[in-house]
Amino acid sequence: MSKEQSAETITKHIDAIVSQLQRKNAKVAFFVGAGISTNCGIPDFRSPKTGLYSNLRKLNLPYPEAVFDIEYFREKPKAFYTLAEELFPGKFVPSKFHYFIKLCHDKGILKRCYTQNIDTLERIAGISDDKVLEAHGSFSGNHCIECSNEMSREKLREFMDQERIPTCASCEGYVKPDIVFFGEALPAKLWEFWEEDVDDVDVAIVAGTSLAVYPFASLPAEVGKKANRILINREICGDFETNPRKSDIVLLKDCDTIAELLCEKLGWSKDLESLWLAGNKSVRDTTENETEDSSSQKDKAAAIATEIAEKVEAGLESDRKEEKNEKDKDVDVLADAVRKVSIT
């Protein structure tokens, strides 16, 4: 449950975190979720009104999560690709929290960034491949679900631009981005990295996640006892609520706001602003004065979630009409055959 924290409490916590980050040879690991991307205009999945699942619940899907179910994808891939069109990398600018992680990377203190997000914004922010672990996969690669043949992003985009489902050149199976669907295994690299990192973290920063999806949710609970755990979130959750440690720090605030406060205390504010403005210019090809504020981006997230729902519904309605037309044709053929039967 979320609650208001006083300015004095927030300042005290910020100072404590800064002290930890400034320690010699500090090793920082991030565990992040959709909450660090909502300020970018990307809708999350579980918010009651603006989340993708809330909007998809209105559709004629067997259940909202079916859009990410591998068996449903085999039968009806159109729903996923309608959603993928809106979330595809290139439309969104990393948030200030993404760039805060990037600064930790540049300052040499980032051990790893474990993310639940599929949007690749950590990579777009400039964090190197060996420092990012996308626990639920991402749009960074694409493979056939039957023979595992790889397809380039350019080729996949070509299919999508033509409103066609990407199919494998080798076996004609459906191709999808390397997002982990329900029914698929998590990346093997997750466990390889975690075995290396679990006892080698000084500061564990958990941000923008409800810690509701396992096994990712268990990672902050497993970090070594020497690690200082920090939660930056709208509400307290997971192990911070059920099994808190005395050294835990909890900041119940917007992730970008905390990133700005930390960078101010660390002397990184100019670096943060430069990265964020450069990201806006690069991704949106705009000037500094044309960047969107966070409230506009949140409105955009809600609009995108609704638009996705409407597009998926239109696609499903088209499928239903096609199925009905096929059934009508079958009935007409059967009726014609019956008329031609002569009774002897």
Maximum distance among all alpha carbons in the chain?
A: 99
**DSSP per position, 187-235:** PHHHHHHHHHHTTS-SEEEEES----STTGGGHHHHS-TTSEEEEESSS
Q: Binding site for NAD(+): which residues?
A: 34-38, 44-46, 116-119, 209-210, 233-235, 255
Q: Which residue has the tokens 């459906």?
A: 174
HSE-up of residue 110 (Cα within 13 Å, Cβ side): 24
143 is catalytic: no
Q: Binding site for Zn(2+): which residues?
A: 144, 147, 168, 171
- How far is it, in rounded angstroms, from Cα 129 to Cα 266? 25
Catalytic residue (one of 13, 98, 136, 143): 136
Q: Binding site: which residues?
A: 34-38, 44-46, 116-119, 144, 147, 168, 171, 209-210, 233-235, 255
Residues written for the chain = 344
Task: Count other C-beta atoms under 10 Å from residue 238's C-beta.
Answer: 21
Cis bond before residue 215 (omega within 30° of 0): yes
What is the set of active-site residues?
136
